[in-house]
Structure 1
């Protein structure tokens, strides 16, 4: 069975790029574009990894991680944070489920390596 990855990102071009790269690596990829949809989609898809942008319409990435960490059905799902604002990495340092931070623009080989590491692959 393929591992599932959920991309929560408001830019369609980034979703398309990451979906292409992760699908080629053999993962099943899902996506949503707003913070409001993120929690419902996580509960529906039960991903093995969440790729989460910081700046999102509705709820921001920090709020989503907080909600996930307080829900025992979601707290064990690893998260990779993505952002163009490198300073935002500090917001997530206290959350053990955040396994990596990827600054935009991505170096795809580094991004894939971090995703595989977070998934234990």
Structure 2
């Protein structure tokens, strides 16, 4: 069974790139483009990993991680946070489900390594 990854990102070109790269690695990919859709999509597809942008329409990444932490069904789902704002990494330090932070633009080999590590692959 393929592991499911949810990409929560509002830039279509980044969703397309990550979908291509991660599908090639053998993962089943889902995506949504707003913070409001993120939680509903997580509850529907039960991802093994969430790749989460910080700046999103609706709810931002920090709010999503907070909601996940308060939801028993989502609190153990690992998260990789992505952002062009390196300073935003500090906001996510209190959340144990955040396994890694990737700054944009991505170094794809590092990104894939972080995904594999977060999934235990």
Ranges of 4+ aligned residues in structure 1 off by more than 2 Å:
none
1:27 aligns with 2:17: no
Shift of residue 115, structure 1, vs aligned partner:
0.3
- SS of 2:80's partner is strand
Pairwise CA RMSD:
0.2
**CA–CA separation in structure 1 for the residues paired with 2:116 and 2:75:** 19
Instruction: Name the TM-score, length of structure 1 as normaliser.
Output: 1.00
How much has 1:16 moved relative to structure 2? 0.2
- Report the CA distance between 1:71 and its aligned residue: 0.4
| Equivalent position of 1:59 in the other structure | 59
Structure 1: state its 5+ residue gaps.
Answer: none
The 2-side partners of 1:36 and 1:94 are apart by 22
List alignment gaps of at least 5 residues for structure 2: none
TM-score by length of 2: 1.00
Whole-Å separation in 2 of the counterparts to 1:52 and 1:42: 12
Match of 2:2 in 1: 2
CA drift at 1:116: 0.3
Deviation at 1:17, TM superposition (A): 0.2
